[in-house]
Amino acid sequence: MHAVILAGGKGVRLRPYTTALPKPLVPIGDQHAILEIVLRQLSAAGFTSCTIAIGHLGEIIRAYVGDGSQWGLAVDYASEESPLGTMGPLLTLRDRLPETFLVMNGDVLTDLDYADVLARHRASGAPLTIATYARKVHIDFGVLTTDASKVVAFTEKPSMDYRVSMGVYGLSRSTLDGYMPGLPLGFDELVLDLLKSDNQPHAYEFDGYWLDIGRPDDYDRANAEFTTRKSLLLKGA
């Protein structure tokens, strides 16, 4: 099994922690870089190879990870000279990729079963599988439903339940057909194109532990929780 880790972003929202380090190398619990945790998890899940898409401070990532042999992985790299969006780096890699593979952001902390995501993607026959997570938003105001300037319904401070993308995907190489290498391609653009062509992605619903380390408060939470979550996150790794 093969995985692609997207690690080319500048980590602007996580500054000052990312001033000198690329975000995937920021340490969690003063012990492991986020990227190291991900690589150990992939290896434990049975993945044998991995491509890391690098950009900002990419040489530091390359020096830290090397060929991946310390984690039992064969790691290679794809350099991004200018920002290409979430899916853009995959277009330059297309000929190096197997027919189905895992794609994930390099700043995700989760106990998701990566191998199962890929297996379910293969079984679904879908062009794309999106790992999803349940979220709830509490609205602090009364919500009105109007029609032709008339109030037809009112709900006092409701909650909204929805599912979000976890930044982990199963992808088929053929899904990238028709897109030009070297041009930006966002995840949103790819999904909307698939929906327009009536080629619906598959949703992989997950309700375990997931934390997207995008902002300083997320990073602080990751450090606070890592000690109690370590055995879960590095189970078998």
Mean pLDDT of 151-176: 92
Domain that holds residue 196: 2-133+163-233
Domain assignment present for 153: no
| Confidence grade of residue 185 (pLDDT, cut at 50, 70, 90) | very high
Higher pLDDT, 128 or 58: 128
- pLDDT greater than 60 at residue 36: yes
Mean pLDDT of 85-95: 89
Distance CA 222, CA 229 (A): 9
Domain assignment present for 151: no
pLDDT of residue 148: 84
pLDDT of residue 16: 63
Higher pLDDT, 115 or 230: 115
Domain assignment present for 214: yes
Domain assignment present for 206: yes
pLDDT of residue 20: 64
Mean pLDDT of 120-133: 96
Mean pLDDT of 3-32: 76
- pLDDT greater than 80 at residue 12: no
Mean pLDDT of 206-211: 93
Domain assignment present for 195: yes
Cite the DSSP H helix spans in the chain.
Answer: 34-44, 58-65, 88-93, 114-124, 187-196, 216-233
Distance CA 165, CA 205 (A): 10
pLDDT of residue 58: 84
pLDDT of residue 224: 86
CATH code of the domain containing 180: 3.90.550.10
Domain assignment present for 157: no
Closest CA to 2 of 93, 125, 138: 93
Joined tokens for residue 77: 């790299």
Share of the chain above pLDDT 90, in %: 55
Mean pLDDT of 141-151: 89
pLDDT of residue 85: 85
Q: pTM of the entire structure?
A: 0.87
- pLDDT greater than 90 at residue 204: yes
Domain assignment present for 158: no
What's the domain count of the chain? 1
Q: Tens of pLDDT along 174-183?
A: 999 989 998 8
Task: Report the chain's terminal Cα–Cα distance, integer Å.
Answer: 16
- pLDDT greater than 90 at residue 187: yes
| Confidence grade of residue 19 (pLDDT, cut at 50, 70, 90) | low
Domain assignment present for 138: no
